[in-house]
Structures are given as C-alpha cells and as structure tokens.
Structure 1
Amino acid sequence: MHYKVSVIVPIYNVRDYLARCVENLMNQTLREVEYIFVEDCATDDSYQILMDTLARFPHRRGDVRVIRHEVNKGLTMSRADGLDVAAGDFIIHSDSDDWTDVTMFEKMYDKAVSDGAEICICDFFHVRKDGLKRENVTLDCRKPHKEFMRDYLSYLWNTVWCALVAREVYERSGARPPVGITFTEDFYLMVRLFQFARKFTKVNEPLYYYNQMNSGSIMHSLMKDLFPQESDCYERTIDWFKGLGVYEDYRKQMQWRLLKSSCYLVFQNRFDELREFHPESHRYILSVPSSLFNFKVKVMMILAFLDLDFICRWDNKRHGRF
C-alpha cells in the first residue's frame, strides 16, 4: 500500500496508558496510515499490552511495524529508528502515554494537501487531573517565512506530535532527533524542519490529547537535570543558524531562549552562574515575551544582574524554594 501518513510511536514503561493510545491510532479514519511502534526495552509489560491491543485490529495488521531494541536507547533514538523506515508521504509522531482524536490524521493530511503545505499543525488538549484544557496554537501560518520563524522561536509548544511534516522536508533538511538531549528535543527537531519547509498550514481544532498525569514522564523530572540539556539545545541551534548564515534574523529570539533555559538558576540561588551564563542575553531581558517566562522571573533576573540578588534570596527563602 502507498501510505499517506507514517506515525512513529516510541514505547517505554507506559503500561497504564498504552492501550488507549494504540486503540485511537488503530481507529483513525484515514486508511492509508503506516504505524511504526518502537519498543525501547520496557521493564514493564508494555510490549505484551501493545501486541494484545494490536491483535484486536486484524484489518490493520499489514500496516503495522514493530521495532524492538535490544538495549534501551531513549526517546530520541527511538524516534530516529522509526524515521529510518518511515515510508509515508507525511510523518508525524505520537507519544505512547498520549492519544489522538480518531480523525486527526485525515483532517491534517487533507488540509496539508488542499493548501499545498509541507507542514500542518493543530491545536491540542492538556489532560490534567481537573479535566481538559484546550491549547490554541496561536501561530499564523500565513505570515512570510522569516516572520513565522520568529514567532515559532518565541512559542512555548514546539511539539513533534502536533505537526504533520512532509517526508521531503526531512530529506531536504537532513533534520534528525538530537543525540544526548531528552528535554526540548522537540524544539531542536521542529525548528530545523520549519526552517526548510516551504509552506505551513493549520487545522483549527484540538486533535491531540497531551497527557500530563504520567508521573514517569520527563516533564516530571527535576529541573536541575534538565537545565544543561535545554541550554545545550539552544546553543546547538544557534550554531546551526550561524552555519546557514541566518542567525542575525533570529538573534533576539534565540537569546530569549537562552534566558528561558537559565530561569532555574534564579530559584536555586545560583546567581554567579546566572551572571556568567551568556552575558549577551542580559540585554534582551526586558523584551522577553510572557510566553517564555513571567514578569516575576524577569524582575528577579534583573535584580541578579544588578548584583541585588539578596532580594531574590529573601524571596526564595520566603516561598521555600531554596
């Protein structure tokens, strides 16, 4: 079969969520979908749950490929292994503790084709204990490429799972999931894809359910472990923009990103590190948009840069942060 869409799903210790994820994928209204599940040496019974769930959808059997790692490689390498075998005209990712609307791939594929776009994005739901919260992706796909990229670099939700991307864009850009980064890895990949895509479009519906109740998710890890990965991601991206000769187009937005990555230092009383971390970025603090961090963080950073960090220490102590 000629596949319109390939979906790549890494799997690792998601036994409580996997069946729902797989069921919604198998029930997609678009018929020409290739499903690539990458089982990354789970220590629970995720693999058996996957196989048991797939067995209930015999009509999809020929569309499913299961890759099993002999050693744990991590999320980004699992995605990369899925990309190596993806044959669809468009590629999208899904995390195995989340789930999709069953019309998601059909609506996004049809929109991309009808608009002649190489990337189609959509809104999504945050799944929380208090219910669903819709995230309206505010990016304007009609803007000129450079203006869109500036907006995208300033936007918080740079996710792979709400972006249907033409396989040709992967091939043209050479973009791959990053090695050694497990936080902001979506930003790393998607920025490179958007930079090389010729046209974007959007489905103005929430079609993906982002599960924030999985305590095993990377989003629940300690920030002290994530700060160096986030800053490394942005530093690599700056170097990549410089290699393309376009860094000056995005200098301000990437300095904002560096400031965002250093927010953690403010709340850990690590003010000497903060002052030494990319001093060029300090001049951009007043212009950082609220989408990246709030006004209070901005004030605390300014106090630290003015060597008035004793105020920040007092506030951190008062709120029990440190």
Structure 2
Amino acid sequence: MKKVSVIVAVYGVEYWIEESLSSLLNQSLAPEQMEIILVNDASPDDSMILARRLVETRFRERLPYVKFIDHPFNMGVSHTRRDGILAATGDYIIHFDPDDLLHPRAYEIMLAEAERTDADVTLCDFLFDNGKRKTHLAQRPNEMTARCLMEQICGAQLPSRHGSMCNKLIRSSLYEQVKLPDRINFCEDAMTVCSMLCLPGIKIASTDLPLYTYRYRPGSMVGTTNYEGDIRLYKELGRRAGEVKEVWQRDAFSAFISSLLYHRSYLEFQGTAEEFARRFGRFEIYVDFAVNVPPRQKKLVRRALEGKHLQSRFRRRLAFAINRRLHRGA
C-alpha cells in the first residue's frame, strides 16, 4: 500500500499548473510511496492536458503511481475531492491545490512526524504569497489537542488557512467516518476537519516548518461570495453542531457560523438590511459565539439580521481594517 495519497482537484489553473505540479512531482518521497490522484472537474482550459503532458514527459518514473480522473461536467471542489478520496489507497491522504507550491521534502517530513507520533492529523505551517510578499502563517495550536485545533479553526479570521486540508496529512480511516459535504464549495475543508476532530481519541502532531506555499489569486474560491452557498454552509454547520456530544464541540461549530456571518456575509453584502435579514436572519442565534468579532461589530450584525440597519460596505470594510490593525498591535 502507498504511504501517502495526494488528491489534486484540477479546474482553471493552466497558467500555474506546470510549476505547481512540478513541485508535487519533485517530492523526495519515492514514487512507490506516494500516489497522485488528479481529478479534472471539467476544466474549461488546458489544465489537465498540461498536467498529463508534464507527467508523461518529465516525470515518467511517477506515471505508474498517477491516476487521472475526468468529470463529464463541473461538479464543484467538494465533489471532486470526494472522488479523489474514493480512489485513494494510501495510509494517509492530503490535498494539493494546483496553483500552490510545496517544499521539496514536505510530505517526507510530515509523514515522518505522523509515523513518529502515531498521529491521525499532522499539520505544517503555510507561506502566504499574495504576489507582492510572502508571510509565514503559523498553524500549530497552543496545545496539541483536537479541542484546541478545532477551536483555532472555528475562531479564525479569513484567510487564516487553519481549516485547510492542504497542510494536513490525515489518516485515511478518518475519511471513512467523515464525508465531505455535498454542494458546499467554501469552507468544506474546515468543516470536514472539524468533524474529524470531534471523533474520539484523535491525536494531533505538527511541524513548525512552512512546507506549503498558498498563492492567493483574485477570482479564486476564497475571494468570491455566493450567498446561497453560504446559507447551505451555515445550515450544515448548524446541523453538525446539533449532532456532536460535547458542549465545547457545539460551541466551536456555533462560533464558526458566527465568525463567517461577520467576516464573510456581513462584510461583503451589497444589498439592503431587509435583504440581508431575509437571507441570514435565521442564523441570529449564533451571533454571540464568535471570539474574534468585537462586541460593537456583533451589535451591528444583529441589527442587520433584524433588518434594521446595514452600514455601507465601505464603512464595514474600514471598521474591519481598523479593528484588525488594533488587534495586531495589541
């Protein structure tokens, strides 16, 4: 059996995929230790053609350990990753976005740490590259426990990447117990990781090395807002909050909804207060759970959820920027 299965959801990345995929194919793990599963989600460009050509011409030694899956039509990132998981045969599974970059020994280092500690979830740090500068994003929780990591994910500001599955080497058996949600293509990774952390006896390990470079590009999923998709996300998070056994787990899921209501839906909404209340009013019960939203901002979100008042988008973004700068300076 392969040690590591790497799942790559391919869509609209022809400009980046050769450089990105090369960093994956150049990993120090031996070919027989790592299988790569490329799932083409009906990409409208030549992304998959370029990927096949790269493997077949420059990395032929890895070709027997690369699987190519093609969707007949676009199904979304969550469904695409699920298909990759079904095809995986490794002891551990990790995801890779084909516009990002890897340290040459990323998976070797993470696998060694996972095996040394017998961890179910092993994470590394990020480099965040916005095209102008690279920032080290530390991911290690204050305590190496499932609870501490889940609370870190659910209380984070966007884009912290704490919930990403691209920096988490996860024991394959966890994916048999927790499935990625259907028809949710934003924060589906964080939601899935949090559900895994609610399983009994989960062990966490971490390396402080920034082994994964996340490259932000305008128009990527993290940069767009889909109101109906947000509603599906919040409803699913609420459902999972109602299913867990521990109070801290329920509170963490509730804090996740509250944080997203402010940092995503409220800050980005472009309609009226009445429209905001019509879409998101049902989630008012979660407003107070966020640990990263100042009380004044929670009050403004509640007023908007009641259809009473919605600040202009400019004032919302300005207040957010000021609060964030004050928080960083504290």
TM-score by length of 2: 0.82
- SS in structure 2 of the partner of residue 164 of structure 1: strand
The answer to whether the Cα contact below 8 Å between 2:79 and 2:183 also exists between their aligned partners in 1 is no
Secondary structure in 2 matching 1:259 = helix
The residue correspondences of 1:234-273 to structure 2 (distance < 5 A) are: 234-241=237-244, 245-246=245-246, 248-263=247-262, 264-265=265-266, 267=269, 268-270=271-273, 272-273=277-278
Deviation larger for 34-43 or 192-201: 192-201
Segments of structure 1 that go 5 or more residues without pairing to the other structure are: none
The partner residue of 1:230 within 229, 233, 239 is 233
Aligned mates of 1:148, 1:131 — CA distance in 2? 27
Q: Which runs of structure 2 are paired with 1:93-242 in the superposition (5 Å)?
A: 93-143=95-145, 145-156=146-157, 157-171=162-176, 173=177, 175-196=178-199, 198-213=202-217, 215-241=218-244
Range moving further from structure 2, 264-273 or 69-78: 264-273
| Structure 2 counterpart of 1:90, from 92, 97, 121 | 92
Find the counterpart in structure 2 of residue 301 from structure 1.
301
Partner of 1:76: 78
Q: Distance in 1 between matches of 2:96 and 2:313?
A: 38
CA contact (8 A) 1:126 1:132 kept: yes
On the 8 A contact 2:55/2:63 being kept in 1, the answer is: yes
2:7–2:94 contact (8 Å) kept in structure 1:
yes
State percent identity of aligned pairs: 22
Aligned equivalents of 1:184, 1:82: Cα separation in 2: 18
* C-alpha contact (below 8 Å) 1:9/1:36 kept by paired residues: yes
Deviation at 1:138, TM superposition (A): 3.9
The separation in 2 between residues aligned to 1:126 and 1:7, in whole angstroms, is: 21
Deviations 1:237-269 (A, max 9, x none): 22332xxx33x2333323222222322246544
Matched residues, number? 304
Q: Do the aligned partners of residues 317 and 84 (structure 1) sit closer, same or farther apart at CA in structure 2, a change above 3 Å counting?
A: closer
Tell me, what secondary structure is at the counterpart of 2:257? helix
Aligned partner of 2:328 in structure 1 is none
> Which amino acid is the alignment partner of residue 59 of structure 1?
E
Residue 17 of structure 1 aligns with which residue?
A: 16
Change (3 A) 1:88 1:319: closer
- Residue of structure 1 in register with 2:48 after alignment: 47
Contact map agreement 1:29 1:103 (CA 8 A) in 2: yes
Q: Distance in 2 between matches of 1:81 and 1:274?
A: 31
Structure 2: runs of 5+ lacking an equivalent: 319-330
CA RMSD of aligned residues (A): 2.7
Counterpart of 2:322? none
